[in-house]
Amino acid sequence: MNRRKFLALSAATVSVAALGSAAIVFEDSHSFIPALLHEYIGDYQMDEEQENNFVDAFAEHYGADKLMAVIGLYRIRSGTGLGTRYTNAKVDEFERKLVTDFLVTTDYLAKQDQPNPRVNFIGFKIACNNPFAQFTGLS
């Protein structure tokens, strides 16, 4: 490797590290998570207070520091296309967990057949958050 290639590679590495640090520091989860959910789930409406309650509960359940780190990894991957097998797996796991937690902690599944439904946050750690559960005939 000659000096020119080494300097170019070093500059690229420093740029990616700076981008990742900036993404972690400046990304607001209260704007990032709803935007990501709209991208994956589609059109729905949710009051800002309900949305903030979901984001806060998700951050508490997932881990606030871990959430900020994964948001940074997500931004690096989506902005530059860079990622390792490990970081890509972590971001994919985060996306699946976010969508799953949204579906089971809101009433979206009950309203999914409506165009642009108004969704309510039910909450984490409820007795049974399975939207398909049926309790008829139980004593």
CA distance 28 to 89: 22
For residue 138, the model assigns a pLDDT of: 56
Entry pTM: 0.70
The CA-atom distances, in angstroms, between 11 and each of 14, 15, 59 are 5, 6, 34
Burial 14-27 (b: 16+ CB within 10 A, else e): eeeeebbeebbeeb
What's the Cα-to-Cα distance from 34 to each of 12, 29, 72, 121, rounded to whole Å?
Answer: 31, 8, 16, 13
Q: What does each of the 139 residues of the chain score in pLDDT, given as a tens digit?
A: 677 666 666 666 656 665 555 544 446 888 999 999 999 999 999 999 999 999 999 999 888 888 888 888 888 887 777 778 888 888 899 999 999 999 988 999 889 899 999 999 988 766 666 667 776 765 5
Q: What is the pLDDT of residue 129?
A: 61
Question: Could you tell me if residue 116 is left (phi over 0), alpha (psi between -120 and 50 degrees) or otherwise beta?
Answer: left
What is the reported pLDDT for 56? 93
Q: How many CB atoms lie within 10 A of CB 6?
A: 10
pLDDT at 23: 47
- Tell me, what DSSP letter sits at residue 133? -
- Label residue 111 exposed, middle or buried (CB < 10 Å: 0-12, 13-18, 19+): middle
DSSP three-state, residue 135:
coil
